[in-house]
Amino acid sequence: MRRLPAHLPWFLESCLSHRELIVRLAGREISQRFRGSILGLGWALLLPLMTAAVYTFVFSAIFQSRWGGSQDHAHFALMLLIGMGVHSVFAEAVNRGPMLVVGNPSYVTKVIFPIEVLPVVAVLSALTNAAIMLGIVILGQLLLKGVLHWTVIFVPLIALPYLVFVTATVMLCAAIGVFMRDLSQIVGLVVTVTFFLTPIFYPLEAVPERFRLVMRLNPLTSIIEQTRTVVIHGGMPDFVSLGLYFLCAVASLAIAVWVFQRLRPGYADVL
């Protein structure tokens, strides 16, 4: 563990030196996602809107769920979209994690390729849907409520530690997934569980007090709550909480990079 801190600067330097490659690969993945479809990029707008509409109807109309006592279905939909957007980054990127290296054997065995940037590419690709959902929320705020809070400028500040955390998780899954092929099934289950144990379609205040601390330990909860605060309510983010989150995320990334590099010599043998 003595060399653990030294790997993080190397990883950051590698990402910086290969930034053009990262952007090209992420752009290629995004374009391939909708290539050949009739609506193309329109699906990126239509799918989250349809999903939010269904969830809003089920939980607010059928189950009579209310967000802070509000009867406004549009408010429910906007809160839901933010939760879905934040979770979508985690779900899409982490689900791909176990197969990142396994699914690209030529990068490991046949060509000289900086495979350490693949988790960053996966996160950037997943970030597209979240950005579109955030755009829908901001537009919805303007059209439905006639307001746009200036505190929305803090969204990148809130997103930064979260993206570091997701990158660390994806990198760890990518390293272990080479040797543990069942990891994909485990990760899929974890992603499903986090969807229901994260305050996405219900407010945190609706959770019984005895379970609320556990919910707050969920790394997605804080990001979702703070994003809602700055976008919907016009409040200031909790800078102390973000600072602690960022430190934990950086520590997680340092560990993930160390594990990735420690296992890297064995990738070619397994593949």
Domain locations in the chain as residue ranges:
11-265
Q: Do 158 and 89 touch, CB atoms closer than 8 A?
A: no
Give pLDDT, residue 118. Answer: 94
Stated pTM of the model: 0.91
Half-sphere exposure of 168 (CA within 13 A, CB side): 21
CA distance 114 to 117: 6
Cβ burial 213-250 (10 Å sphere, 16+ → b, else e): eeeeeebbbbbbbbbbbbbbeeeebeeebbeebbeebe
Series of mean pLDDT values for 10-residue runs along the chain (271 residues): 68 92 90 68 75 77 66 81 93 94 83 89 92 89 86 96 97 94 93 92 86 89 96 94 96 95 86 68
165 Cβ contact partners less than 8 Å away, ≥ 6 residues apart: 219, 245, 248, 249, 252, 253
How far apart CA 93 and CA 100 sit, in angstroms, is 10
Residue with tokens 């988790």: 119
Radius of gyration of the chain (CA): 20
